[in-house]
Structure 1
Amino acid sequence: MTPKMTVFGEVLWDVLPDTRLAGGAPMNVAAHLQRYGMDVSFISRVGHDELGAGLLAFMSGHGLSTQWVQTGETHLTGIAKANVSDSNEVTYKILHPVAWDYIQFDRAAAERVVASDFFVYGTLAARDHTSQETLLRYLEYAVTSHRCLPVFDVNLRPPHYTQEQVTKLLGCARIVKMNEHELREVTAWFTTFEQEQQAMAFLIAQFQLDMVVLTCGAEGAMVLTSAGDAVRHPGFTVNVSDTIGSGDAFLGAFLYQFASGHSLAESLEFGCAAGAFVAGHAGALPAFGERDIQDLILSQQVVID
């Protein structure tokens, strides 16, 4: 049976110096999951404007259903101005408030969450009260379903989060994905650690997580589970075009493999390859297929710890 995935959060236009790209980490993750043949539902909101119509058309064009993407009359579609002067780390100036700050609770969508195998969410869409309360209600459904695994893609975007907010969202998760900078910042709220694995183990114990997935940029990624299993992959070498969406590509690919019954090592390898492939091409959603990822893996066979 095809795994069911529900993704909640922002969809927006990333405005670059010479173009604009459809984006938003949750939308990117949903699009990648759709690309791999998963049964995907994406919950978000756009404005009743030209930019919103463009995003709806973009998602439909990528095979991603817009059934659960609301259209609001009172707020504009989201925009983020991307600074890509450092090809290894993109920064954003994100317009506020916008349509996805006002995602309304939908009981039919909640039933979809309950029927899902994974419910993916992040921090940014919870920056304002309305969408945060909607997200927390969906998370209640996910947590009590005993089937759906909540996946928290931390994805911190200053200044759009607080310690209290992130801590609350961590408490709802079973799987957490974050990068090295986010791991250091979040664990520093509680204590300090010299080693990443110790910090990951602390989060697992503190929030009763099943696993923490840590992305390490060019250094690859690692996973630590509640059973103490640790897997690391050193990553893949590519000529970096930009890193827009590379973490989203990693998460979508990792979840696809993990949900399909592959081992943590295999899932991590595939996720690292997908993230590297996207980093080697412009934009968050370059055209590629599973075969391209497998070819990259075969071209750079590595030993996994």
Structure 2
Amino acid sequence: MTPKLTVFGEVLWDVLPDARLAGGAPMNVAVHLQRYGMDVSFISRVGRDELGAELLAFMAEQGLSTRWVQTGETHLTGIAKANVSDSTEVTYKILHPVAWDYIRFDHAAAQCVAASDFFVYGTLASRDRTSRDTLLRYLASTRVPHGCVPIFDVNLRPPHYTREQVTELLAFARIVKMNEHELREVSGWLAPFENERQAMAVLVDRFGLDMLVLTCGAEGAMVLTAGGEYHRHSGFTVDVSDTIGSGDAFLGAFLYRFATGHPLPASLEFACAAGASVASKKGALPAFTETDIHALIHMRQQVVAH
């Protein structure tokens, strides 16, 4: 049976100097999972405006159901202005407040979350009370005997978070994905550490995580489990166009492989290749296939062999 995943959070337009692209980390992850043929539900909110209609149309074109994407009357669809002057470290100015700050709780959506195998959420969509309270109620619904796994994609966007907020969301998680900058900040709130692996262990132990996945940009990624299983992949060398959405591509690919029973090292390699593939192209959701990913893996293996 195909695993079921529900993703909660923002959907918006990334405004670049020369383009406007559909985005939002949760939506990107959901689209990647959909492209891999997973059973995906996406919970969000857009405004009843032209930009909202265009986002709904985009998601439908990607095959992603908009059943749980609400349409609000009082707030505009989200926009984030992307600064790509440094192609390896994109920064954002995110409009506030917008429609996805007002995601309302829905009992039927809560049943969808509870019936899922995995529930993916992040930090940004909980910056205001309405969406935060809704997210916390959905997270509470994961605590049922069947065992929906909450997955926290930390994805810190200053100034839209607080230490207390991130800590509260970590307390619900069983799997966490973050980048090396986020690891240093969050683990630094709790205890001193000498290296990344030690910092990962601090968070796994403090929050009772099953697993922490760490992305390290061009340096690849690591994973550490509660049982002490540790793997590192050194990544793939590509010509970077921009890094918009590369972490989302990584997470979607990792969850796809992990949820379908692949070992952690293989899941990590596949995810690193997916992230590199997106970084080599413009925007968060460029066209690429599993064949492209496997070709990149095969090419790297040949280089390593020689």
TM-score (norm 1): 0.98
Is 2:191–2:202's contact at 8 Å kept on the other side of the alignment? Answer: no
Please state how far the C-alpha of 1:147 moved relative to its aligned partner. Answer: 1.9
Match of 2:296? 296
Query: Equivalents in 2 of 1:296, 1:108: separation in Å?
Result: 41
Structure 1: gaps spanning 5 or more residues: none
- 1:25-64 correspondence runs (5 A): 25-64=25-64
Q: Which amino acid is 2:57 matched to?
A: A
C-alpha distance 198-146 of structure 1, shift in aligned 2 (>3 A): farther
Is 1:3–1:259's contact at 8 Å kept on the other side of the alignment? Answer: yes
Match of 1:217? 217
Match of 1:92? 92
C-alpha distance 73-10 of structure 1, shift in aligned 2 (>3 A): same
Aligned Cα RMSD in Å? 0.8
Output one character per residue of 1:103-130: Cα deviation in whole Å (capped at 9) or x when no partner.
0001111111111111000000000000
Q: Secondary structure at the match of 2:64?
A: coil
- 1:1-305 correspondence runs (5 A): 1-301=1-301
Q: Which amino acid is 2:94 matched to?
A: I
Q: Which runs of 4+ in 1 moved over 4 A?
A: none
Worse-matched range after superposition: 175-184 or 186-195 = 186-195
Please state how far the C-alpha of 1:192 moved relative to its aligned partner. Answer: 1.6
Output one character per residue of 1:251-300: Cα deviation in whole Å (capped at 9) or x when no partner.
00000000000000010000000000000000000011111111111111
Q: Which amino acid is 1:232 matched to?
A: R
Output one character per residue of 1:154-207: Cα deviation in whole Å (capped at 9) or x when no partner.
000000000000000000000000000000000111122111111111101100
Query: Equivalents in 2 of 1:238, 1:52: separation in Å?
Result: 34
Is 1:82–1:91's contact at 8 Å kept on the other side of the alignment? Answer: yes
Worse-matched range after superposition: 111-120 or 246-255 = 111-120
Query: Equivalents in 2 of 1:243, 1:145: separation in Å?
Result: 39
Query: Equivalents in 2 of 1:94, 1:145: separation in Å?
Result: 38
Query: Equivalents in 1 of 2:167, 2:146: separation in Å?
Result: 22
Query: Equivalents in 2 of 1:44, 1:216: separation in Å?
Result: 28
Please state how far the C-alpha of 1:145 moved relative to its aligned partner. Answer: 4.4
Is 1:114–1:145's contact at 8 Å kept on the other side of the alignment? Answer: no
Query: Equivalents in 1 of 2:192, 2:139: separation in Å?
Result: 29
Structure 2: gaps spanning 5 or more residues: none
Q: Which amino acid is 1:149 matched to?
A: V
Percent identical across equivalent pairs?
A: 77
Q: Which amino acid is 1:217 matched to?
A: G
Please state how far the C-alpha of 1:144 moved relative to its aligned partner. Answer: 2.7
C-alpha distance 130-119 of structure 1, shift in aligned 2 (>3 A): same
TM-score (norm 2): 0.98
Please state how far the C-alpha of 1:143 moved relative to its aligned partner. Answer: 2.5
Q: Secondary structure at the match of 2:82?
A: strand
Query: Equivalents in 2 of 1:294, 1:119: separation in Å?
Result: 27
Query: Equivalents in 1 of 2:145, 2:243: separation in Å?
Result: 35
Q: Secondary structure at the match of 2:53?
A: helix
Is 2:237–2:276's contact at 8 Å kept on the other side of the alignment? Answer: yes
